[in-house]
Structure 1
Amino acid sequence: MGQDEDTPPRLRGPPPGATEPPDHVKKPQIYEIFHGSTTPERSELGSVSSAGPEGQPNKTPKPTFKDGVQSIKSNDFLRIHQIPCAREGLMTGIGAGAAVGMGRYFVGARAPKAANWAFVAFLLGSVIQWEYCQAQRRKEYAAMARVVEVIDRKQAEKKAQAAEATRLKREAQEKAQQAQKSWYKLW
């Protein structure tokens, strides 16, 4: 793979028998792209320095509920399907809300009270399913990181074994050449 046969392969991970995982496993980088809108408020928060004039800490105001509502754009609702776990959460919430609302209505509650129960069931179902899905994703990421770690260790072991085999083969060839050299010199 771009290396000469004479040079041993370069190891990516730790040497065999090392107990410490490779660097990229210690600090896994998970790349996930969200196509959210960038608002001026968000870019201002990212560019504010932590120290103000004369080296004093900068007291940035905490964002309020009003700031949160103002940061929501109408375009955000068109991209909700791109948010991980959003579909599962909303579908579970819709099902829970419909089931509880109809159940309360058929049991004898008036329509507004049944609608209130349906809305609460929708919120609870959505949030619970969202959190469950997020927990499953975190567990999956941890398992993937473990698989990458194991694969990297196996590759490092194989490369080390290949390097050792190459070194032993080279030594055997050198011994064979020395054995074939004549013990005398004519000139």
Structure 2
Amino acid sequence: MAGVNNNHGKEPLPEIPVPILNDPRPAPDRDQVVSAFKTLEPTRDFSSMRKSPCAKESFVDGIAVGFGVGLLKTMKSGFGKSAANWGFGAFVLMTIGTWEYCHYKIHQRRQLMATGQMPVVSTVDLDAAKRREAIAARQKDV
């Protein structure tokens, strides 16, 4: 322990610094953290969240699981702060878990497309192909 000297009147021992965490990354500079928070715009960020490909699925799953866990906790121990906390905690964990899993699947699909193991198919391409087929069928009839 730093500051403890068991030498009883003898020469004090030198203090050896002990690293608290062996993290190879440097600690973030305070200016970087402040500038990161300055870039946040809650109204813009939350209004564009619904455009995310995983938002609806994540929130619906989180709400359902949170409601279910809160209801079960209420039935077991009666309504109170504990049941609400369990429900909210389950909502948060399920929403984050579903969000991360959805983004993981998207990342996997993009990797497969980049390596050529999965064909790149767009709905625009499918619609254009259907239109070409319809035009070709009409031209055959004429």
TM-score bucket of the superposed structures, by smaller chain: 0.5 to 0.7
Higher RCO, Cα 8 Å, sep 6+: 1
Residue of structure 1 in register with 2:111 after alignment: 142
How far did residue 81 of structure 1 move? 1.0
Work out the CA distance in 1 between the residues paired with 2:76 and 2:30.
Answer: 52
2:54 corresponds to which letter in structure 1?
C
- Shift in Å at residue 70 of structure 1? 7.3
Partner of 1:123: 92
Q: How many residues align?
A: 92
Matched, 1:85 2:54: yes
Q: Partner letter of residue 86 of structure 2?
A: W
> Partner amino acid for 2:40?
S
> CA shift at 1:90, angstroms?
1.1
Amino acid at match of 2:116: V
**Is the 8 Å Cα contact of residues 74 and 80 (structure 2) preserved in structure 1?**
yes
CA distance in 2, matches of 1:133, 1:147: 21
Task: Please state how far the C-alpha of 1:73 moved relative to its aligned partner.
Answer: 2.7
**Are 2:107 and 1:107 aligned?**
no
TM-score computed with the length of structure 1 as normaliser: 0.42
CA–CA separation in structure 2 for the residues paired with 1:88 and 1:71: 24
What letter corresponds to residue 144 of structure 1 in structure 2? M
Q: For residue 67 of structure 1, report the CA deviation from its aligned partner.
A: 5.7
- 1:63 corresponds to: 33
Deviations 1:30-80 (A, max 9, x none): xxxxxxxxxxxxxxxxxxxxxxxxxxxxx771214x963872332332221
What RMSD over aligned residues (CA atoms) do the two structures have, in Å? 3.0
Structure 2 unaligned segments of length 5 or more: list them.
1-28, 121-142
Identity %: 27
Please state whether the residue corresponding to 2:66 is helix, strand or coil.
Answer: helix
TM-score, with normalisation over the residues of structure 2?
0.54
Whole-Å Cα distance in 2 between the matches of residues 71 and 140 of structure 1? 29
Higher CA-based Rg: 1
